[in-house]
Amino acid sequence: MHSAEFRRTREESWRRLEHLLGRIGNREQALSQEELSELPQLYRTTLSSLSVARNYVLDQRLIAYLEALCLRAYVVVYAPRERLGGLLKHGLIIGFPRAICAAGIELALSALCMAVGMLAGWAIVAAGPELFYSIIPESLAGGRGPDQTRELMAKSLEGGVETAAAAQLFVLQLASHNAGIALLAAGLGIAFGLPTILLLAYNGAILGAMLAAFDVHGLLVPFIAWLSVHGVTELGAIIIAGAGGLAIARGILFPKVDETRMAAARRHGMHGGFLAAGAFAMLFVAAFFEGVLRQAIEPTTARLLFGGATAVFWLWYFQRGRASRKGRGDD
């Protein structure tokens, strides 16, 4: 799809959303009730455009623009209204862990979607290795696949010495890419959660296909070790972002008797906002692990130990939310 044609048919709604978001920070140009009611619809439209652009449009600047616009809109439509300092203190120390502990059903469903996708991807590639590239595009596979030699697959797991500038650029690129996936997983919950479920399953299928490709060459354990350095944090973040989207979908599908679907979506969206914001923060941590630390940690055992340590840390961190809920007498 040509980016010019794509822009021409959709750009008016993007500009309208950008205009309204720009006015929100200006007290002299407060939005009317009608304009406020426009925001969720414009957000859904722009999010849909982003989903299409990521799959069919090659203009990376346009994709980056839509990602930034959707993120701004998500914060306005769903995020709690707090100053930055208070949001960081309350959100990261208290709000995010408590939101995790309150989202047990959504987290379980999100993890289940990824697990089902992973098993399906593994089974497909194990049954027909030639189907690997039907799940993972060659550009995303990075030279890995069941048709590659064992030596090349093993070499792809080796660490490398990179300049500080190259490592920093890689971290930023990874963070941007992963944040885009998390944004879609969370934001698409407004479409009754089905796109979120499909996105989670597809990301799981990618992981399963890659696991099968390395298993073919007898490199499953080294690959799991290589992945664990950043994957515990990264995959956890995507599952959490998906849970945020499912929380929004839950509000739309099962509102209280005395509230509209949009009011329920906004109420659940406040909860989903904590989940999505925390997931974004985790993805930047994962990008740092992947872009810098993974290059420095080479032995398989050391990688597994590091991955295990990150899992223990996140479990401890999220357990703080359970203690906080009990301390406040929450259910």
pLDDT score, position 211: 96
Residue 275: name the closest of 112, 105, 111, 92 by CA.
Answer: 92
pLDDT score, position 2: 66
pLDDT score, position 84: 47
Query: Would you say 42 and 70 are in contact if contact means Cβ atoms under 8 Å apart?
Result: no
Which tokens sit at 41? 């619809």
pLDDT exceeding 70 applies to what percent of the chain? 82
Which amino acid is present at 17? Answer: L
Of the two residues 222 and 92, the one the predictor is more confident about is 222
Asked if the model's pLDDT at residue 82 lies above 60, the reply is no
Q: What is the mean pLDDT of residues 188-203?
A: 88
Give residues with Cβ within 8 angstroms of 203, minimum separation 6.
114, 117, 181, 238
pLDDT score, position 79: 56
Structure-token match 């859904």, residue found? 44
Asked if the model's pLDDT at residue 86 lies above 60, the reply is no
Asked if the model's pLDDT at residue 123 lies above 90, the reply is yes
pLDDT score, position 231: 92
pLDDT score, position 85: 53
pTM above 0.75, yes or no: no
Asked if the model's pLDDT at residue 165 lies above 70, the reply is no
Asked if the model's pLDDT at residue 252 lies above 70, the reply is yes
Q: What is the mean pLDDT of residues 47-67?
A: 80
Q: What is the mean pLDDT of residues 90-102?
A: 77
Asked if the model's pLDDT at residue 81 lies above 70, the reply is no
84 burial via Cβ count (<10 Å: 0-12, 13-18, 19+): exposed
Q: Could you give the C-alpha distances from 128 to 133, 146, 211, 221, 236, in angstroms and in order?
A: 11, 10, 14, 21, 29
Task: Tell me the domain boundaries of the chain.
Answer: 3-78, 101-327
Q: SS3 letters for the chain?
A: CCHHHHHHHHHHHHHHHHHHHHHHCCHHHCCCHHHHHHHHHHHHHHHHHHHHHHHHCCCHHHHHHHHHHHHHHHHHHHCCCCCHHHHHHHHHHHHHHHHHHHCHHHHHHHHHHHHHHHHHHHHHHHHCHHHHHHHCCHHHHCCCCCCCCHHHHHHCCCCCCCCHHHHHHHHHHHHHHHHHHHHHHHHHHHHCCHHHHHHHHHHHHHHHHHHHHHHHCCCHHHHHHHHHHHHHHHHHHHHHHHHHHHHHHHHHHCCCCCCCHHHHHHHHHHHHHHHHHHHHHHHHHHHHHHHHHHHHCCCHHHHHHHHHHHHHHHHHHHHHHHHHHHHCCCC
Lowest mean pLDDT among 5-19, 197-211, 250-264, 279-293: 250-264
Q: Give the pLDDT confidence of 224-233 residue by residue, as tens digits.
A: 999 999 999 9
Structure-token match 């203190």, residue found? 89
Q: What is the mean pLDDT of residues 170-187?
A: 71
Which tokens sit at 70? 């959707």
Q: Give the pLDDT confidence of 272-306 residue by residue, as tens digits.
A: 777 888 898 898 888 888 877 877 888 899 999 99
pLDDT score, position 309: 97
Lowest mean pLDDT among 5-19, 102-116, 227-241, 288-302: 288-302
Q: Angle at which helices 60-78 and 33-56 pack, to 10 degrees?
A: 150
Which tokens sit at 323? 């203690």
Residue 315: name the closest of 222, 233, 219 by CA.
Answer: 233
